[in-house]
Amino acid sequence: MLIRRKPDLTENEVTPEALYRQRRRFIQSGFALAAGTLVPGLHAAAATLDGEQFTDLGASRFSTDEELTPFDSIASYNNFYEFGLDKDSPKELAQQMQTRPWEIAIEGECRNPMTIGIEDLLADFDMEERIYRLRCVEAWSMVVPWVGFPLSALLDKVEPTMNARYVEFRTLHDPDQMPGQRRGLFGYVLDWPYVEGLRMDEAMNPLTLLSTGLYGKVLPNQNGAPIRLVVPWKYGFKSIKSIVSIRLVEKQPLNSWQQQAPNEYGFYANVNPEVDHPRWSQAKERRVGEILRRDTLPFNGYAEQVASLYNGMDPKNLY
């Protein structure tokens, strides 16, 4: 288990020295884009629109010691079908998306529903742990230094009721900005908007993050700006991007890929090397930038933190 336990990760471990030394102390244009502490009474790390740079980032106790995937690879090899079916198109086509202003509605089975702007949302959180150096798996695997905070902190704020058994997420639906959502252009791959879901105990696990950045920088559009989900023990299609709606519900949501291909995509989507996908083996993975494959770890190496969530369940149902 390659989990770093002591919070000793520094900024210069995840950001080039020339960048992390360009520290800014005040928020430009009123935008507070990460959780942290600048000066007394101001609970937001500085990030300006021009420099797209965070400051005052702490470490997470969940961080791994494994080598980081280079920023250029993370930002140029993306699954984001709203901006194209291949891995290269999102980097170009997503730049037209406007991420300000941006609001997220949190509603459903909760006592304190709210609609909150991204700046107000992030200014509300004063987190001690902000850099999460985590293994992540999509059609490939990476080690990504995410900037974010636990989803549980937001859910606690809206006070879920006893009926809240699942959390449903929806991404932005705007064909004018997202060409992949235009009928006919890419074959209209999914029934938009993109929908994902977690069971409540999965959502409340401290490893489940809302991320607003990576590598010490504001989250690039192609990586899901301005806010996305990160669930590191699951396959990447569970980590929904550009979130506009978080809804607490009693019944299990039907996520987009379940609806599109129910014989290939299940609700849980946990990394499970012992259960093959209908069209390929899950036993091996290839990390971006590497030629050789490596053994896939159960729960992507986070079994110690999450395996107990699935006690008594048939492992074949966990993908």
Question: What average pLDDT does range 194-222 have in this prediction?
Answer: 95
In this prediction, residue 183 carries a pLDDT of: 77
Question: What's the pTM?
Answer: 0.83
Burial 41-57, CB ≥16 within 10 A → b, else e: ebbbbbbbeeebbbbbb
Instruction: State the DSSP string of 151-200.
Output: HHHHHHHH-B-TT--EEEEEE---TTT-GGGSTTTS---S-SSPEEEEEH
143-181 pLDDT, tens digit per residue, is 999 998 999 999 999 999 999 999 999 999 999 999 999
4 residue type, one letter:
R
Beta-carbon contacts of 210 under 8 Å, excluding residues fewer than 6 positions away, are 148, 149, 150, 151, 154, 227, 228, 229, 230, 243
56-90 pLDDT, tens digit per residue, is 777 788 888 899 999 999 999 999 999 998 899 99
Q: By the 8 A CB rule, do 215 and 134 touch?
A: no
94-104 pLDDT, tens digit per residue, is 999 999 999 99
Give the H or E element holding residue 122: helix 118-123
Adjacent-strand bridge partners of 270 = 234
Q: For the domain bounded by 11-309, which CATH number is listed? A: 3.90.420.10
Determine which of 66-70, 187-191, 226-230 has the lowest per-residue pLDDT on average. 187-191
Question: What average pLDDT does range 117-145 have in this prediction?
Answer: 77
